[in-house]
């Protein structure tokens, strides 16, 4: 597989909504493999095809190597819990920049696997946060948009001075 270049904030592609995957083939498997290698090299725990300029609804998450890689094609959230949690988030497109974000603690979501087989699962805690974060990216919502204007402006100014 290949480590691919990652779009860096504020690239316009990071605001581009992704299209559903309709073809489940070896090229899709190769993309998922490239995403995994790219995410590990970044390093990160989650990545979307949009992060590398491929605007299809593909997510790869690996919270821990012993737990394995999760690949979600065309994921969508069916249900959010009312209970929320705070977690520090960042992005492979904005290395070194992090801030606390509040999101629902648990979700129920649907997705297809690499063979096109549909699944529905529940997730909570850190996995739920990661899935919501990556689905936002597929929808063209960069994680900074989940911050207050003050926090976002402060973080972007810092990023422009040190990370861009």
Give the rounded distance of the alpha carbon of 83 from its chain centre. 21
DSSP result, 31-81 = HHHHHHHHHHHTT-SEEEGGGGT--B-EEEE-S-TTT--EEEEEEEEEEE-
Q: In Å, how far are 14, 17, 33, 38, 100 from 51, measured between CA atoms?
A: 7, 12, 14, 10, 21
Give the rounded distance of the alpha carbon of 142 from its chain centre. 9
Residue 26 known to be catalytic: no
Question: Can you read off the two tokens belonging to residue 79?
Answer: 């249900």
Q: Element (H or E) spanning 130, and its range?
A: helix 125-138
Selecting among 27, 82, 134, 160, the annotated active-site residue is 134
Three-state DSSP class for residue 160: helix
Give the rounded distance of the alpha carbon of 14 from its chain centre. 11
| Residues noted as catalytic | 134
């Amino acid at each position: 597989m290949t480590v691919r270049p990652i779009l860096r904030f504020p690239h316009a592609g990071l605001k581009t909504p992704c299209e559903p995957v309709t073809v489940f083939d070896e090229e899709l498997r190769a993309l998922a493999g490239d995403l995994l290698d790219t995410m590990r090299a970044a390093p990160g725990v989650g990545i979307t095809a949009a992060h590398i300029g491929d605007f299809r609804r593909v997510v790869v998450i690996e919270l821990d190597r012993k737990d394995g890689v999760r690949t979600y094609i065309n994921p969508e959230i069916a249900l959010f819990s009312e209970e929320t949690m705070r977690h520090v988030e960042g992005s492979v497109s904005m290395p070194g920049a992090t801030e606390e974000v509040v999101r629902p603690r648990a979700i129920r979501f649907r997705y297809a696997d690499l063979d096109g087989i549909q699944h529905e699962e529940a997730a909570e805690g850190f996995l739920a946060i990661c899935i919501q974060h990556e689905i936002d990216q597929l929808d063209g919502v960069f994680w900074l948009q989940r911050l207050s204007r003050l926090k976002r402006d402060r973080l972007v100014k810092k990023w422009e001075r040190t990370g861009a």
